Amino acid sequence: MNTELLGIVATFLLTLAIAIPLGKYLAKVFAGEKVWTDFLKPFESGIYRLSGINPKEEMNWKQHLKALLTINLVWLVYGFFVLIYQDKLPWNPDGNPGMSPDLSFNSIISFVVNCNLQHYSGETGVSYLSQHYVMMFLQFVSCATGIAAAVVLFKAFRDKTTTKLGNFWDFFVKSITRLLLPLSLVMALILTFNGTPSSYEGKDQFISLQGDTVNVSRGPAAAFIAIKHLGTNGGGWFGANSAHPLENPNYFTAMVELIAQVIIPIAMVIAFGFFIRRKKLAWTIFGVMTIGMLLLLIPTLSSELGGNPAIAKMGISQATGAMEGKEVRFGPAISAYWSTVTTIISTGSVNSMHDSSMPLTGAWQLLGMMINSFYGGCGVGILNYFIYLIIAVFISGLMVGRTPEFLGHKVEAREIKIAAIITLLSPFLILTGTAIATYTFNNYGDANWAVQPQNWLNNPGSHGFSEMLYEVTSSNANNGSGFEGLGDNNTFWNVLTGIILLLGRFLPIIGPIAIAGLLGAKKFIPESAGTLKTDTKTFALMTFAVIIVLNALSYFPALTLGPLAEYFTALSR
């Protein structure tokens, strides 16, 4: 057991050892300072020339958003049709069928918004063409979109007063050429040499040792799995995601995949501080996020290592922890760490099945996704946190009776309104979404959908409710993991989560950028004795309190009906 805990500590320390220098590097890249990867400049100029882009053209915040939304719309249309017609397009060695329009609607949105909620299974639902030209493509560009959006926000606070926030295409392309592609190359090679398939061969067949005929799904997965983690996407090549032995062959690759999914979210926080020349602010933000992570991780570890009391009652030793839905080569400890990491940042890849986690673990997983900013997804993590910061600035301002300011800019009614709307959006989407689903389950059980509502749930009682709550929460957080027992490939879930995915992605990007753009354009007020300092421990505590209070008020009732009820009724009896 000790080697398992040591594995977590090593993984986290290695993550920091990579993420912190990476953050400093990113700050320089986006500030246009000299870095060692500048040899790629001619290559980038080539990309700009072919695309008809002038990377020096300055944009204001509205132009940034227009560019961002336009290219995302192009991807939506492109991918939607590829997925529907994948059976008629080339490169489908396993002969998988085209997607139904509602499944394609859901899948394409899910990948455009960096969520990777999958209502299909990799082995049977998509062709190799779709896997690479739609899914993997979007794993790169959706992450780069998030990073570019965050850099726009950084830009707004770098100079005293400015409306010129750099060029969106420039940030976007550099996120790929200077960060995602090089790291993906390294990681894909590591995976390939540890056993993940990388060749284009289709299904294989063999006769097993005791004589059964076995079909094996394969394919060029290594390249895909690298960006799946680096870009906090999380969509699996195979149905079982990173629990699949070909997708995650051994303990070493588990460590690599865990490190890969956390480095960019942490690096973005560090980059923020270095970019706006307020390193202390970055460290306080990092501190709050890390404490939040630990507060979710420790109870998760304790409930998973404790095992399932219902099985213990049958006389089976739970010394190795809860093993349902987990793999022996990983064990429960790193699986618990994985489940925390993948829910606080928006990866949503899994190396164990969350539906089979202990009830309290489920509560922590849900809470991680509800908060969605302890590190958070690529780029969007810091954007989400920014909203909490603005709310904290506002409340502190009220408490001490001063006009709230953030980094030398007055925060006024307009900004607060935007922040409030974004803050209320998550509980609105999660709670109404779950309510609609529950209502449909109870009242329209025999509706004629691919999966009838009465057959949606894989588990009875409060755990079944958790399956629905988890699906909606995961969609809103753009996370993509699931309580996978839920029968989610039908019109209802495809459309409901599709809409939540879109709103849960783009409004929380538009909001912070609008606030940052508005603030950046305001007159800069130099710091004085009366300024509310945002990089102190007191303010960090304030932000933490805001995060906890807002989320507790919003979600405690829902969590009570789901995982908490299961814990107190079924398992402690």
Partner 1 sequence: MKKYIIQSIRLTLVLIVLLCVLYPLSIALAGKLSAGKGGGEKITKNGKVVGYALLGQSFTKPEYFWGRPSAVGYNAAGSAGSNKGPSNEDYLKGVSNRIDTLLKYNPTIKRSDIPADMVTASGSGLDPNISEQGAIIQIKRIAAIRKIDERKIAELVIKNTQGPFLGMFGPSSVNVLKLNIALDEIK
Distance CA 279, CA 117 (A): 35
| Segment lying near partner 1 (by CB under 8 A), choices 32-40, 232-240, 289-297, 409-417 | 232-240
Taking the least distance from each CB to partner 1, the nearer of 33 and 204 is 204
Return the residues of window 246-275 that contact partner 1 according to CB under 8 A. Answer: 246, 249-252, 254-255
Radius of gyration of the chain from Cα atoms? 23
Q: Binding of partner 1 at residue 7 (CB under 8 A)?
A: yes
Assess 16 for contact with partner 1 (CB under 8 A).
no
Name the residue nearer to partner 1 (CB basis): 103 or 276: 103
Interatomic CA distance for residues 130 and 43, integer angstroms = 27
Using CA atoms, how far apart are residues 543 and 566, in angstroms rounded to an integer? 31
Name the DSSP class of 409.
E
Using the rule CB under 8 A, is 213 a contact of partner 1?
Answer: no
- Between 85 and 206, name the residue whose CB sits nearer to partner 1: 206
Region of 218-226, 372-380, 503-511, 522-530 interacting with partner 1 (CB under 8 A): 218-226
- Binding partner 1 (rule: CB under 8 A), the pick from 24, 458, 554, 561 is 458
Per-position x/- string for 126-145, each x denoting binding to partner 1 as judged by CB under 8 A, each - no binding: ------xx--xx--xx----
d(CA 147, CA 180): 10
243, 345, 367, 514: which one binds partner 1 (CB under 8 A): 243
**Residue 460 to residue 71: CA distance in whole angstroms:** 43
Token pair 């306080």 is found at 284
| Residues 203/124, Cβ–Cβ less than 8 Å | no
Q: What are phi and psi of 214, to 5 degrees?
A: -125, 130
Least distance between partner 1 and beta carbon 7 (Å):
4
Least CB distance to partner 1 at residue 184 (A): 7
Q: What is the DSSP string of 94-138?
A: T-PPPPPHHHHHHHHHHHHTT----SS-HHHH--HHIIIIIIIHH
**Count of chain residues binding partner 1 (CB under 8 A):** 117
- Burial readout 498-530 (b: 16 or more C-beta within 10 A, e: otherwise): bbbbbbbbbbbbbbbbbbbbbbbbbeeeeeeee
In Å, how far are 111, 252, 459 from 323, measured between CA atoms? 30, 20, 18
Considering the complex, state which of residue 58 and residue 159 has its C-beta at the smaller distance from partner 1: 58
Residues numbered 317-346 forming contacts with partner 1, rule: CB under 8 A: 317-331, 334
| Contacts to partner 1 from residues 466-485, by CB under 8 A | 466, 483-485
Residue closer to partner 1 (CB basis): 159 or 201: 201
Cross-strand partners of 206:
214
124 binds partner 1 per the rule CB under 8 A: yes
Name which of 251 and 444 has its Cβ closer to partner 1: 251
359 binds partner 1 (CB under 8 A): yes
What are the residues whose beta carbons fall under 8 Å from the beta carbon of 316, sequence distance 6 or more?
A: none
Residue of 520, 503, 480, 295 whose CA lies nearest to 386: 520
Site string for partner 1, 151-190 (x = CB under 8 A): ------------------x---x--x----x--xx--xx-
With binding defined as CB under 8 A, does residue 201 bind partner 1? yes
